[in-house]
């Protein structure tokens, strides 16, 4: 282990001990969201240490919006259902929300499908206290039209544990500190993630935020000053490790759930809801008419 890494770790632990870290869900508050529609011109080309996604690279990615402002992400499951984080939808009036699909550059309205929300069903096991089972299904009032920019994402088998390299995407706050000023990128951003063991992930969260990383959660590490931030909540963690040739390709392993502020701290991986452990809830909602 290099001396530089040890010094960075000690500095990081000192800052944590001084109360500089704060557990936070990774959605944008209404105060942040109200700025977004007027601040697209102010942006850093980073999700937090990421880079611009290619047009159509993540066709399942949606923007969940209120009053014309983005505040959470989500993933398309079929023509009328979107998978999101329960904490994004907690207390929200569906009639005031819109789902925007096909957006790559938020200023390019021609490529977007902007549809109203009909119904939101949170996982009945969701706890706002522990953020466990942080999943919800959004039903749309109109069907999406699938094309090169709008497609569903596959679900993992029940009980599947992802490994190796994955990627997450979103339009969340690109300010490296995750605080004001809010830098909302026009372009969809992406950052590579490596699945981190729950055992390793639990230690800093339990010691410094008193939060428990359960078996219904996944942890993804991206390195120093890289990761998800406010506004990325509800968006997908996509992996490619399903074992058979028939299953080769992307699937949604996680739903962006929570982390700490400042964002992108290497000792605190981003925490995602584990989609494979929530298949009963998701499948039940997909069977509803």
Contacts of 37 (CB under 8 A, 6+ apart): 67, 68, 69
CA distances to 3, 16, 127, 177 from 10, in Å: 11, 10, 33, 19
Q: Which of 25, 211, 233, 257 is catalytic?
A: 233
Q: Which of 43, 70, 134, 160 is catalytic?
A: 134
Q: Is 232 a catalytic residue?
A: no
Beta strand extents in the chain (DSSP E only): 22-25, 51-52, 61-66, 69-76, 81-84, 97-101, 113-122, 136-140, 165-170, 189-196, 217-221, 236-239, 251-261, 270-274
Q: Is 134 a catalytic residue?
A: yes
Q: Which of 70, 87, 104, 160 is catalytic?
A: 87
Peptide bond into 244 cis (omega under 30): no
Residues 17-36 as b/e (b if ≥16 CB within 10 A, e otherwise) read eeeebebbbbbbeeebbbbb
Rounded to 10 deg, the angle between the 3-17 and 198-209 helix axes is 40
Q: Is 248 a catalytic residue?
A: no
In the structure, how many helices (H) and strands (E) does the chain have? 5, 14
- Considering only the C-alpha atoms of the chain, give the largest distance between any 2 of them, rounded to a whole number of Å: 59
| Residues with catalytic function | 87, 134, 233
């Amino acid at each position: 282990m290099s001396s530089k890494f040890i010094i960075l770790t000690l500095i990081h632990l000192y800052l944590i001990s001084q109360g500089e870290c704060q557990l936070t869900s990774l959605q944008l508050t209404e105060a942040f969201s109200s700025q977004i529609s007027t601040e697209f011109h102010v942006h850093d080309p980073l999700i937090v240490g990421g880079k611009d996604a290619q047009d159509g690279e993540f066709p399942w990615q949606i923007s969940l919006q209120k009053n014309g402002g983005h505040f959470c992400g989500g993933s398309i499951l079929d023509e009328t259902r979107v998978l999101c984080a329960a904490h994004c939808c907690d207390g929200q009036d569906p009639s005031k929300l819109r789902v925007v699909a096909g957006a790559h550059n938020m200023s390019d309205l021609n490529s977007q499908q902007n549809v109203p929300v009909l119904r939101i069903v949170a996982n009945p096991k969701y706890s706002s206290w522990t953020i466990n089972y942080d999943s919800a299904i959004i039903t749309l009032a109109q069907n999406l039209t699938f094309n090169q920019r709008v497609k569903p994402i596959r679900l993992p088998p029940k009980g599947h544990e992802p490994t190796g390299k994955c990627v997450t995407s979103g339009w969340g706050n690109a300010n490296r500190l995750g605080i004001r000023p809010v830098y909302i990128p026009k372009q969809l951003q992406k950052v590579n993630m490596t699945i981190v063991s729950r055992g390793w992930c639990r230690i800093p969260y339990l010691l410094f935020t008193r939060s428990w990383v359960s078996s219904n959660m996944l942890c993804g590490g991206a390195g120093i000053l890289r990761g998800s931030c406010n506004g990325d909540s509800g968006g997908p963690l996509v992996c490619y490790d399903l074992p058979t040739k028939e299953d080769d390709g992307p699937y949604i392993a996680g739903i962006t759930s929570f982390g700490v502020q400042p964002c992108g701290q290497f000792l605190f991986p981003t925490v995602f809801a584990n989609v494979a452990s929530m298949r009963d809830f998701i499948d039940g909602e997909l069977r509803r008419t």
